[in-house]
Amino acid sequence: MLTHQTTDSNSLDRQVSALFAVLAEIHGTDQLVLKAGKLDSLNLMRSEKLEERVLALERIVHEDPTIDQARSLDEIPDMLEDLEEHLADLLARRTLEEKLEKKISAKMQERHLEYLKEIRQQVLKEEGGPDNAQTLKKYAELEMLEKKQLSRSTLELMRPKALEEVVGQESAISSLLAKVSSPFPQHILLYGPPGVGKTTVARLALKYAQAKSYTPFGEDAPFIEVDGTTLRWDPREVTNPLLGSVHDPIYQGARRDLADGAVPEPKLGLVTQAHGGVLFIDEIGELDPILQNKLLKVMEDKRVTFESSYYDPDDPQIPKYIHKLFTEGAPADFVLIGATTRDPSEISPAFRSRCAEVFFDPLTPQDIVAIVESAAVRLGAKLEDGAAQMISEYTIEGRQAARLLADAYNTALYKREEGDLTDLVISTADVQQVIQAARLSPYVGVKASPTKEVGRILGLGVSGYVGSVLEIEAVAFPASAPGKGAIRFNDTAGSMAKDSVANAAAVFRSLTGRQLSDYDIHVNVVGGGNIDGPSAGVAILAAIISAVWQIPLPQDIAVTGELSIRGNVKPVGGLHPKIYGARQAGVKKVFVPQDNWDEISEQSTVVEIVPIKTAAQFLEAILGSSFDRLQLPVAN
């Protein structure tokens, strides 16, 4: 019996030692000793008594120092079996944890390498910017393209660089400068035909005003230029380049950082960019009427307001500048200079009432000659005698005159075999070749002459800002029977011109005592020109009387005026361009209504201007002694 117990004791002892060895593998020898010390089991673990060693094993496995009851030899086998099961679970868990730790360690190492790569790339970006090899290559290509520049265009070269170089607009320039270079500058509308210098003068006017100490324009005052024909806006206010708009988060084009936070962003318009300076709108008459009214509101308030249903004043994520724009608006204190080729009647009355108006005159042939000669100097070329005069016969626009000169310059250079630019002479043949290639016709179709003709007189018309001479002619034949005559008039001349013929018939009877119905009369406006208004009445009467009495009329005079049925000459419009047209045609004397005298009394003396009050006064002035014949019977 004793031998059997000794054998069991030895077996249990070896089993306990094996379990301690497993614990040493799991925790490590040093860690096992430390753990036994913490669990107050170190002495028990080193004891020679099996019971105490089993107690130490139990405390360490369960990590419970409060276990103090030693097991009897009979209980130890079952206890060891439980401890073995517990150690098996612990060992399996430890093995799994080690595998997981290895995988975690591998993943961490992989992530660490990726992180290092990202950091490295970020450092490279911070040091070298967002560029890479491809973007730097494209940048280099752009730089190479920038170096390959052609010379300036001829039109840019010949453009006036100072107000003194602008030809034929002395009155308009002085009027514009007086309104801009003031402590209280005004908004201005510039009227005039194309190519006379409106845009150039507007650009230079700000520089002139900046030089004056009493003007509100600073050295950095902006000059913002835009073309009214190209300004497009969305009535929903999604976009408005002139006044500004709001980019709501849902719209394309909103900043990503603001869109992510549902923050609307106001975009400033040209009126704010022009704050403190000049906003120049070319072809302002083409601007959308609704946009014109919105611009007027800004001009009055000197501020632009913004609205958006996405704006929340209590949102802490909205930047200060956006809060300020929504609550106070953006400043827009500027001087508006608008240029147009339209008639003032076509411009909004609300706009005109808020702006001073300056009128640019059409250019005369002398002005075109001066422009061409000045441009030739800038080109470094010489002009053959008559070349500049030839160009002046085909255009009244300074821009087109410069273009024709540039074409003639290129033609002359093309003809030179050596292609040398020195001592280049532009001949009349070069100009003629350019004119023929462009298929241009002389601008002035009708010219005055010192001769006299029966049934022909020169009237005056106007289209836009450019006047012209109208050739009015009449023929008269005795009617087949008294009172059976007919009056014919070309339909293309307009309904008001026909009314002028009816008025002329009444005045004809009043002056002569004769019935116009006793004659077959044909009145014609040569070329079928449309006479917009009754201003040809006096001229039609003179042509009819000349045709009936066969009295020749001078061909170097012109007349304009509405004829009343009582023979009075009533005022007409467009006197300035009409007199310009007379000058272009070489007319020496122009007869105008007496009531128009005040508006043209200071006109240039290049053309003699004679005021008339009645048709009889005019006829007596041009017919002289022949005027007395009007009361005589007409010979068949």
Q: Give the dihedral sign, CA 503/508/513/518.
A: negative
Q: Which residues pair with 460 in a beta bridge?
A: 469
> Which DSSP category does 164 fall into?
G
Q: Which of 89, 121, 148 is at the close of a domain?
A: 148
Residue 611 inside a domain? The answer is: yes
Residue 377 inside a domain? The answer is: yes
Domain that holds residue 218: 157-359
Kindly name the residue from 41, 175, 535, 546 that is annotated as catalytic: 535
Is the domain of 164 the same as that of 279?
Answer: yes
617 versus 237: the higher-pLDDT residue is 617
Confidence of residue 281 (pLDDT cuts 50, 70, 90): very high
Is the domain of 335 the same as that of 460?
Answer: no
Burial 579-614 (b: 16+ CB within 10 A, else e): bbbbbbbbbebbbbbbebbeebeebeeebebbbbbb
Confidence of residue 1 (pLDDT cuts 50, 70, 90): very low
User: Cα–chain-centroid distance for residue 525?
Assistant: 43
Report how many domains make up the chain: 4
Is the domain of 50 the same as that of 181?
Answer: no
Kindly name the residue from 103, 578, 588, 625 that is annotated as catalytic: 578
pLDDT, position 397: 86
End-to-end Cα separation, the chain, in angstroms: 182
Is the domain of 399 the same as that of 427?
Answer: yes
* Structure token pair of residue 102: 């290895």
Is the domain of 142 the same as that of 162?
Answer: no
Residue 119 inside a domain? The answer is: yes
Contact 275, 302 (CB under 8 A): no
* Structure token pair of residue 113: 């390498």
* Structure token pair of residue 597: 């005298």
Checking if the pLDDT of 495 tops 60, the result is: no
Active-site residue flag, 578: yes
The whole model's pTM is what?
A: 0.69
Q: Which of 148, 175, 193 is at the close of a domain?
A: 148
Q: What's the CATH code of the domain at 456? A: 3.30.230.10
Q: Give the dihedral sign, CA 120/124/129/130.
A: negative
pLDDT digits (tens, 9 = 90+) for 159-193: 778 888 888 888 899 999 999 999 999 999 999 88
Burial 121-137 (b: 16+ CB within 10 A, else e): eeeeeeeeeeeeeeeee
Is the domain of 292 the same as that of 183?
Answer: yes
Residues 6+ apart with CB under 8 A from 459: 469, 470, 471, 472, 531, 535, 536, 539, 540, 558, 559, 560
Is the domain of 166 the same as that of 269?
Answer: yes
Is the domain of 140 the same as that of 177?
Answer: no
Confidence of residue 322 (pLDDT cuts 50, 70, 90): confident
Q: What's the CATH code of the domain at 323? A: 3.40.50.300
Residue 273 inside a domain? The answer is: yes
Is the domain of 144 the same as that of 163?
Answer: no
Would strands 466-478 and 519-525 be described as parallel, antiparallel, or unpaired? Answer: antiparallel
Residue whose token pair is 């108006």: 357
- Kindly calculate the radius of gyration of the chain based on its CA atoms and give it in whole angstroms: 51
pLDDT, position 299: 92
Residue 335 inside a domain? The answer is: yes
Q: How far apart are CA 361 and CA 331, in angstroms?
A: 36
pLDDT digits (tens, 9 = 90+) for 29-82: 777 777 777 777 777 777 777 777 777 777 777 777 777 777 676 677 777 777
Residues 6+ apart with CB under 8 A from 152: none
Q: How far apart are CA 539 and CA 560, in angstroms?
A: 7
110 versus 299: the higher-pLDDT residue is 299
Q: Name the least confident of 85-99, 111-125, 399-413.
A: 111-125
Is the domain of 216 the same as that of 196?
Answer: yes
pLDDT digits (tens, 9 = 90+) for 113-162: 877 777 777 766 666 556 667 777 887 888 888 777 665 666 677 777 88
237 versus 618: the higher-pLDDT residue is 618
Confidence of residue 636 (pLDDT cuts 50, 70, 90): very low
Q: What's the CATH code of the domain at 426? A: 1.10.8
Helices (H), 380-474: 387-392, 398-415, 428-438
Residue 90 inside a domain? The answer is: yes
Over residues 507-527, mean pLDDT = 85
Helices (H), 461-574: 495-512, 537-549
Separation in Å, CA 107 to CA 93, 111, 117, 495: 21, 6, 15, 95
Phi-psi region of 233 (alpha: psi -120 to 50; beta: other; left: phi over 0): beta
Residue 365 inside a domain? The answer is: no
Report which secondary-structure segment, H or E, holds 224. strand 223-227
Contact 31, 23 (CB under 8 A): no
Checking if the pLDDT of 617 tops 50, the result is: yes
Would strands 487-489 and 519-525 be described as parallel, antiparallel, or unpaired? Answer: parallel
Is the domain of 511 the same as that of 599?
Answer: yes
Is the domain of 522 the same as that of 598?
Answer: yes
Confidence of residue 331 (pLDDT cuts 50, 70, 90): very high
Residue 607 inside a domain? The answer is: yes
- The rounded percent of the chain whose pLDDT value lies above 90 is 24
Q: Which of 335, 359, 383 is at the close of a domain?
A: 359
| Phi, psi values for residue 131, rounded to 5° | -80, 150
| Phi, psi values for residue 611, rounded to 5° | -80, 140
Over residues 319-334, mean pLDDT = 89
pLDDT, position 491: 64
User: Cα–chain-centroid distance for residue 246?
Assistant: 19
Contact 497, 470 (CB under 8 A): no
